[in-house]
Chains A and B, each alone.
Chain A
Amino acid sequence: MATQQIFSPLPGIFYRRPAPDKPVYKNDGDVVAESDTIGLIEVMKSFNEVKAGAAGKIVRFLAENEDAVMAGQPIAEIDV
């Protein structure tokens, strides 16, 4: 198993939940498929989904909910 990172495709605010009153998309340790959504990036008031991009198991999130992130910043680690 190799560990790789999931990068933010855009600069903005990172959210781990689809809405404030909803559960998080994924938790540390969750198994994900390539097309699974792991979070949202808010860019200029528009919301963009972040996909896992690879099948595997999430080791941990590197960015917290509502963190300001840059494009290319790692937001999670995944074992593939």
Chain B
Amino acid sequence: MAIKKLLIANRGEIAVRIIRAARDLGIATVQVYSKADKDSLAVRLADEAIDIGPPQASKSYLNQAAILAAAQATGADAIHPGYGFLAENAEFAAAVEAAGLIFVGPTAQSIRLMGDKVAAREAAASAGVPTVPGSEGRLESEEAAFALVEKTGFPVMIKAAAGGGGRGIRIARSAEEFHHLMPQAQAEALAAFGDGGLYVERLIEGARHIEVQVLGDGRDVIHCFERECSLQRRRQKVWEEAPSPSLTQAVREKLCSSAVALAKAVNYRGAGTLEYLYDDRTGEFYFLEMNTRIQVEHPVTEMVTGIDLVREMIRVAGGEPLRIRQDEVRVGGHSIEVRINAEDPARNFLPNPGTVSALSVPGGDGVRFDSMLYQGYTVPPFYDSLLGKLIVHDKDRPSAIRRLERALAELSVEGIFTTKPLHQALARDADVKAGRFHTAWLEPWLESHAAALATAQPPSAVKVAP
């Protein structure tokens, strides 16, 4: 059944992106909004807009009943969840289908399976995809843990089973350290989380973050090659590119086929991403997790392959089979995306919502700016700080970096501080130019470049909030 009217259950730049894709397909759009987003660009662009509640996400963009009611009230026949909010909520996907509507994404069953770390690891293992060596579940005793690390080798991470987001992680580099840290970790996990359960995983030091884009129609799956997103701060990606500057062709083929094997094993439908750690000294890669949604950094893949991923996921959701064969997917040139956030790199990335008093957007060949901004727009404080993404494409990586510098120089967002000076400094950095980085590279770099970043953005360009 082809989709006629699509409701966008999201906000910000991704809502704008989805509206554009739908319109390119001749599909009508309904934008839901919280009271804080009444004046958003997505609301202005959509054919219809409907209020779903107060600013707090828990009462609006996460309110499943309000979103389903909005779909019924406007006669939408499909819901696109974007990323974040309800995008990877299996219960919501099931509720959308139970209401007789199309969920633009995978089945609730796929979301549930990939959202469960242990089940995802098992699915990967049975599809022949390597995972980081470690315990299959929680470990109750120090003896059991030690027996395991003798097999995985050092260094290892000791993690609290009930922890998350990097909390409660300890690193042991030898058996002696392991025996010293294990009781501490157990006691700490018990005190912090009320659960002393631990698991152990081999630490891949200096690893890169590489992910593979896949597209499936529930029967067939293709990959659209990889992205590298190793430049991260507090586990948040800040700069992403395609192709990866660090993969050899042989590893690239192995990595991408492993992603297709796993996505096929779960009959994947829609756009998805398989994340890996890659050790470029050994050429080994390890599956981390699958994100069952469109990702923020999808445009770099679109720029190098020419495939409109958002349009394809909408077509597949409407019941069409994949229109692209694997041998038709080719990579041309190099693309880089940088995230323009409402954060001040000079003040430890302090978020600063406020009014955009003036805006100049870069343009020209190979430049794309996916954003939620317009001149006079007031960025609300209630959601994440992503304002938009600057994406460039050129024939090779050095040209793409030069083009990025050119486009950043053309970009001007007045009235609020942004992460633009960070990206200008990164684009000039010798290691970045040489592609010499890993997931733990950026944070120490930020410390050693704090002085340069502190003076990069003149306060005169910004009207400081009261």
What residues make up the interface of A, taking CB atoms closer than 8 Å to B?
A: 10-13, 42-46, 66, 68, 71-72
Contact of B56 among A10, A68, A71, A72 (CB under 8 A): A68
B298 to chain A, nearest CB (A): 21
In the assembled complex, the Cα of A46 lies from the Cα of B54 at a distance in Å of: 19
CB-defined A-B contacts under 8 Å, sample of 25:
A11-B353, A11-B380, A11-B465, A12-B382, A13-B55, A13-B56, A42-B382, A43-B353, A44-B343, A44-B351, A44-B353, A44-B383, A44-B385, A45-B383, A45-B385, A46-B350, A46-B351, A66-B56, A66-B58, A68-B55, A68-B56, A68-B382, A71-B465, A71-B466, A72-B466
In the bound complex, residues from chain A placing their C-beta under 8 Å from that of B342 are: 44
| Nearest-neighbor residue (CB-CB) of B54 within chain A | A68
In the assembled complex, the Cα of A11 lies from the Cα of B351 at a distance in Å of: 11
| Nearest-neighbor residue (CB-CB) of B35 within chain A | A68
> Within 8 Å of chain A (Cβ to Cβ): is B36?
yes
In the complex, the 10 A-B pairs of residues with the closest C-beta atoms, listed nearest first: A44-B351, A11-B381, A44-B385, A12-B381, A68-B55, A43-B381, A43-B351, A46-B351, A45-B384, A66-B56
B287 to chain A, nearest CB (A): 28
Cβ-defined contact, A44 with B384, below 8 A: yes
In the bound complex, residues from chain A placing their C-beta under 8 Å from that of B381 are: 10-13, 43-44
In the assembled complex, the Cα of A72 lies from the Cα of B381 at a distance in Å of: 14
Sample of 19 further A-B pairs with CB below 8 A, known A11-B380, A13-B55, A42-B382: A10-B381, A11-B465, A13-B56, A13-B382, A43-B351, A43-B381, A44-B342, A44-B382, A44-B383, A44-B384, A45-B351, A46-B350, A46-B351, A68-B54, A68-B55, A68-B56, A71-B465, A71-B466, A72-B466
In the assembled complex, the Cα of A71 lies from the Cα of B353 at a distance in Å of: 11
What residues make up the interface of B, taking CB atoms closer than 8 Å to A?
A: 36, 54-56, 58, 342-343, 350-351, 353, 380-385, 465-466
B442 to chain A, nearest CB (A): 18
| Nearest-neighbor residue (CB-CB) of B350 within chain A | A46
In the bound complex, residues from chain A placing their C-beta under 8 Å from that of B350 are: 46
In the bound complex, residues from chain A placing their C-beta under 8 Å from that of B58 are: 66
In the bound complex, residues from chain B placing their C-beta under 8 Å from that of A66 are: 56, 58
In the bound complex, residues from chain A placing their C-beta under 8 Å from that of B465 are: 11, 71
In the bound complex, residues from chain B placing their C-beta under 8 Å from that of A71 are: 465-466
Cβ-defined contact, A68 with B36, below 8 A: yes
In the bound complex, residues from chain B placing their C-beta under 8 Å from that of A44 are: 342-343, 351, 353, 381-385
In the bound complex, residues from chain B placing their C-beta under 8 Å from that of A68 are: 36, 54-56, 382
Number of A-B contacts (CB under 8 A): 40
Which of B381, B384, B465 has the most C-beta atoms of chain A within 10 angstroms of its own C-beta?
Answer: B381
In the bound complex, residues from chain A placing their C-beta under 8 Å from that of B351 are: 43-46
In the assembled complex, the Cα of A54 lies from the Cα of B123 at a distance in Å of: 57
B53 to chain A, nearest CB (A): 11
In the assembled complex, the Cα of A22 lies from the Cα of B155 at a distance in Å of: 36
In the bound complex, residues from chain B placing their C-beta under 8 Å from that of A72 are: 466
In the assembled complex, the Cα of A19 lies from the Cα of B466 at a distance in Å of: 28
In the bound complex, residues from chain B placing their C-beta under 8 Å from that of A45 are: 351, 383-385
B35 to chain A, nearest CB (A): 8
In the assembled complex, the Cα of A71 lies from the Cα of B36 at a distance in Å of: 15
| Nearest-neighbor residue (CB-CB) of B379 within chain A | A44
In the bound complex, residues from chain B placing their C-beta under 8 Å from that of A12 are: 381-382
A46 to chain B, nearest CB (A): 5
In the bound complex, residues from chain B placing their C-beta under 8 Å from that of A46 are: 350-351
| Nearest-neighbor residue (CB-CB) of B36 within chain A | A68
In the assembled complex, the Cα of A43 lies from the Cα of B342 at a distance in Å of: 11
| Nearest-neighbor residue (CB-CB) of A69 within chain B | B381
| Nearest-neighbor residue (CB-CB) of B383 within chain A | A44
Which of B56, B343, B351, B383 has the most C-beta atoms of chain A within 10 angstroms of its own C-beta?
Answer: B351
In the assembled complex, the Cα of A28 lies from the Cα of B382 at a distance in Å of: 27
In the assembled complex, the Cα of A13 lies from the Cα of B466 at a distance in Å of: 17
In the assembled complex, the Cα of A19 lies from the Cα of B56 at a distance in Å of: 16
In the assembled complex, the Cα of A71 lies from the Cα of B380 at a distance in Å of: 12
In the assembled complex, the Cα of A44 lies from the Cα of B350 at a distance in Å of: 9
B233 to chain A, nearest CB (A): 13
In the assembled complex, the Cα of A37 lies from the Cα of B60 at a distance in Å of: 29
In the bound complex, residues from chain B placing their C-beta under 8 Å from that of A11 are: 353, 380-381, 465
B87 to chain A, nearest CB (A): 16
In the bound complex, residues from chain B placing their C-beta under 8 Å from that of A43 are: 351, 353, 381
In the bound complex, residues from chain A placing their C-beta under 8 Å from that of B54 are: 68
In the assembled complex, the Cα of A14 lies from the Cα of B246 at a distance in Å of: 45
A5 to chain B, nearest CB (A): 15
In the assembled complex, the Cα of A12 lies from the Cα of B54 at a distance in Å of: 13
In the bound complex, residues from chain A placing their C-beta under 8 Å from that of B353 are: 11, 43-44
Which of A13, A43, A44, A66 has the most C-beta atoms of chain B within 10 angstroms of its own C-beta?
Answer: A44
